[in-house]
Amino acid sequence: MESETAMWTEKYRPKDFSDIKGQKEIVEKLKAFVEQKNMPHLLFSGPAGTGKTSIALVIAKTLFGESWRTNLLELNASDERGIDIVRNKVKDFARTKAIGDVPYKIIYLDESDALTKEAQQALRRTMENYTQTCRFILSCNYSSKIIDPIQSRCAVFRFKPLASKDVQLIIEKIAKEEQLEIDDKSIEAVYTVSEGDCRKAENILQSCAAINSKITEENIFSMASLAKQDEIKEILSLAVKNEFIQSRELLQKTMLHYGLSGLDIIKQIQKEVWNLDIDNRMKISLVDKCGEIEFRMVEGSDEFIQLEALLSQFTLAIVKDSKA
């Protein structure tokens, strides 16, 4: 194994376009830009851990080769979100020519949706004035937080969460190189807890590997602070069978065992509602209750009391339905 401080996310970051998983259509379009050495400003939007930063670095490495570090300015807008960052760092880098045969440098602004509106207004003028010497790649989780003038200046690419097969390929590669034992059930568990976020999947895997080179489903759910789907389903099944006390006790036991917060478990409950063997109209009603209880917890209500109230709604819904 690598030293404990080594980050797998960096170690296994894609080196070229062929290493990027799950974003085939985006990769094909970006490869065409790079091959022609002529690309517009780019805006990457989508969930965390889907390859936005990796693709930006691959573009820089492919375009500039060994000199990619001198031709790329990488900034995290959530750290430096004010107008000064655009007026100073960005503008100073943008006005100088690139080293090599590519006619422009690249500025990569990660989490650009954290920039203030004033900083975005300054940025749009910089993008306009220095098009000859610089291209911008903006990355964000929500493109709606980027002002329209910037969006209209960029080619927008929307990233999607990685599919199960793509995450499986990445996990199998890591397991082989790090000499880990992991079966198909555990790989599926990693995908379940990561929800298509490759970075999260790698971090969970690394945490489990630090304990034991044999990765188990139990360790994965424990590391991710999530209960198994079967356990959540049993809690809800007991509630809809009018066995409220047993359901409540199992919920408490599960939360204590995995160290779950109320917000953690209510998200799992909401997902598992759809797998219950009850009427569809009732499922909709119960999901509505999940939203109401989550709101109360966010506002500061006692988590366990609210979860008990939610389970009681599950039981009452069935009782009312049977009397109807």
Q: What is the pLDDT of residue 251?
A: 92
Looking at the fold, whether 242 and 314 belong to one and the same domain comes out as yes
Looking at the fold, whether 183 and 114 belong to one and the same domain comes out as no
Looking at the fold, whether 45 and 114 belong to one and the same domain comes out as yes
What whole-number distance in Å separates Cα of residue 109 and Cα of residue 79?
A: 11
Residue from 48, 51, 173 nearest 113 by CA: 48
Q: What is the pLDDT of residue 137?
A: 92
Q: What is the pLDDT of residue 124?
A: 87
The answer to whether residue 2 is domain-embedded is no
Q: What is the pLDDT of residue 69?
A: 87
Residues of the chain with pLDDT under 50: 1-6
Q: Residue 21, by phi and psi: left (phi above 0), alpha (psi -120 to 50) or beta?
A: beta
The sign of the CA dihedral 189, 191, 194, 200 is positive
Q: What is the pLDDT of residue 98?
A: 79
The answer to whether residue 276 is domain-embedded is yes
pLDDT tens, residue by residue, 54-77? 899 999 998 888 888 888 888 886
Looking at the fold, whether 34 and 50 belong to one and the same domain comes out as yes
Looking at the fold, whether 274 and 256 belong to one and the same domain comes out as yes
Q: How many domains does the chain have?
A: 3
Looking at the fold, whether 308 and 187 belong to one and the same domain comes out as no
- Collapse the DSSP code of 219 into the 3-class scheme (helix H, G, I; strand E, B; otherwise coil) and give the result: helix
- Collapse the DSSP code of 30 into the 3-class scheme (helix H, G, I; strand E, B; otherwise coil) and give the result: helix
- Say how far residue 114 (Cα) sits from the centre of its chain: 16
Looking at the fold, whether 33 and 146 belong to one and the same domain comes out as yes
Looking at the fold, whether 29 and 135 belong to one and the same domain comes out as yes
Q: What is the pLDDT of residue 324?
A: 53
Q: Which residues pair with 137 in a beta bridge?
A: 42, 108
- Residue 50 sits at φ, ψ, to 5 deg, of -110, 5
| Residue 138 CB-density burial (10 A; 0-12 exposed, 13-18 middle, 19+ buried) | buried
Whole-structure pTM value: 0.77
CB atoms within 10 A of CB 320: 11
Q: What is the pLDDT of residue 323?
A: 60
Looking at the fold, whether 152 and 120 belong to one and the same domain comes out as yes
Looking at the fold, whether 63 and 144 belong to one and the same domain comes out as yes
Supply the range of the domain harboring residue 302. 229-323
Helix segments in 153-243, DSSP class H = 164-178, 184-194, 198-211, 217-223, 229-240
Where is the domain boundary, 109, 134, 158?
Answer: 158
- CATH code, 181: 1.10.8.60
Where is the domain boundary, 180, 208, 223?
Answer: 223
What beta strand segments (E) does 80-123 contain?
Answer: 105-110
What whole-number distance in Å separates Cα of residue 267 and Cα of residue 138?
A: 31
Q: What is the pLDDT of residue 158?
A: 92
- CATH code, 298: 1.20.272.10
The answer to whether residue 122 is domain-embedded is yes
